[in-house]
Structure 1
Amino acid sequence: MKIYLVGGAIRDGLLGRPVTERDWVVVGATPEQMLAQGYTQVGKDFPVFLHPDTKEEYALARTERKSGKGYTGFVCHATPDVTLEQDLQRRDLTINAMAQDANGEILDPYQGLTDLENRLLRHVSPAFSEDPLRVFRVARFAARYAHLGFTLAPETRHLMKTMAAKEELTYLTAERVWKETQRSLTEQHPQVYFQTLAESQCLEPWFSELVPVIANIGPHLQSAAEHTHDASLLWAVIGTQIDATAAESLCSRLKCANHITELCVLSSHYFHLLSAPILPETCLKVFNQCDAWRKPERFLQILTVIKLASDNPDNQHQQNEKIRRALAAARELDAKKFVAQGLKGAEIGRAINDGRLTVVQQHLR
């Protein structure tokens, strides 16, 4: 039995980045041997074990054979005769296909060190095309390491184009595509994720609404990412570049959580209205339509998105502050005051609306 550290821990260690988790491959062992040493088996499709002390994952070396469509159609073969090289060959990128033995020696059968030095994202083998999720994973790595000068190898880009042309991406689930997208939005350069997909002709079928506006999304997303790494806010910034109907369709296809969808769609719908000088009557109407009275935090998020997506953030900040103060003051109006004055029924509603309008006028001067 031989145990090797593999994957991201080696890659990030060599790049001088923090290593957040470590994965291990065990060569020459059986499940029975792992269990006998105190490991706990957790893998269903292939043997993965948790270390009895560190709880880190130890996977038996394995090969995979494609048996269906999408990213789940694989038959796993994990026996003691599977070599380290065979296990590393099934990985996505060469920079993720390196191993380190107990003596600290790097084993690099697929030139990951060279590609790391050349800042190149290159697939290990043609088997890359068997898992369409890797298209989005590679785009995410491009976003993560763009600031270090990493680029996509031409042959890998060509392979991704081929996969898209064969409609391999249609076999993925919305949950997996959104998970990669959401993680990409938290990277230093999230716009590179979408640019990589666009340049590889992989925006279809999951991001079809973004195809006509991809040139606009890049600069806005890059600028917004300099101020926040909140995936929900950045996704809503993308929403401001398309109309509300398209934003709702996009979020629905990716099965985004309700609060993410609402923020994206509302930001799209009110972007142009709130990013221009606004009349008090219009502002009050927006408050009502956005249910800002019951959900003020969400409305403040919308204002944040508008500022992040604005071409003139300083001016937008000033307007946002006026709107924010107007909302805070208008929410202080209480129906009890008008009940005490003897008003009833619809009269109370009209009085509250008139009072709110007066307050909004005062703050938007």
Structure 2
Amino acid sequence: MSTTVPVKAQKSEAKKQNPEFVQLLDPDGIRLSDDLYDPWVSDVTGDQLASLYEDLIIVRRIDTEATALQRQGELGLWPPLFGQEAAQVGSARTLRPDDFVFSSYRENAVAYCRGVKLPDLVRVWRGTAASGWDPFSVGMATPAVIIGAQTLHATGYAVGCKKDGVDSVAVAYFGDGATSEGDVSEAMVFAASFKAPVIFFCQNNQWAISEPVGLQAQRPIADRAPGFGIPSIRVDGNDVLAVMAATRSALDRARNGGGPTFIEAVTYRRGPHTTSDDPSRYVDPVVATEWEARDPIARVEAFLRSEGVLTDELAASIQSRADQVAAEFRAGCLGLENPEPLSVFDNVYATEHSGLARQKSQYKAYLEGFEK
């Protein structure tokens, strides 16, 4: 990106802050002013916002390709993130390499931003590995399928950071459905008690599989955290700039000893819960159309074009890059090799013991029985 254009409020069209949540870019791509959160993104240039736009385009393209791979029988399952790109990219791009992420199974855009290799995104879903990547090489744990469990892991890690005297921060990503799990409440109790440097990042995508968020939350989910002594921020999860501002604010609080912050990113899951789900059975098409108009990519594109940053040439270049990444992603997926059967016993324990060796020997004999 060569053009540098400061991201500024369009004074002639600026609106007041949305009272429902923090919003800096509205669905029409109009830059809104906010005295509290503008300073957190005052350094973001047009080029940098265009880079975030490129991330959004690429991760959506990866998601589309993964869904196609599942439909073609190349993946056993895939949890789409369609519609939630801004919440994930805007938060992940604020993190330092020494911060550590604990996610659910839908944060593939976060994984991409953390540097997870493309084939590693699908190893588990293709059934060629029990775990997708080395957590310590990218500062991100492999996804937790047990709903909400990762909030406890993040809190424990954050307490460790505090005891080590470092200013690294742990971030736990989870959905609105997870907030009904006891693990999340327990994690917030511990985080508040020990002022752990952790961010609880809830992507409220309006659905806990097929159950609407209104069934489990009679008030905004962000209202729950203050009851634990944790300040909360409710942000437009489809606004990549607002998400970045909110996350930077929470990171600064954590690094300076202020303890945990709860962020509710209000977004919408525009696809199925997983590729085994049929959302047409429970989603009101009128509501889906309303959320389509709040698309996280469209608003950034509209703003960048109004600022003269995003030209047709640059847009075409970004799309070409996204298609290239998708091709690499597909090739990497199809190139994954089935593991050697006995490797299932690898890395179960730090040091192999007699019981594990016995099980391995028995399984080996079982497999050899098919060769006779």
**Fold similarity call, TM over 0.5:** no
Between Structure 1 and Structure 2, the one with more helix by share is: 1
Q: Which structure carries more relative contact order (alpha carbon 8 Å, separation 6+)?
A: 2
Larger CA Rg, structure 1 vs 2: 1
Report the TM-score, using the length of structure 1 for normalisation.
0.25
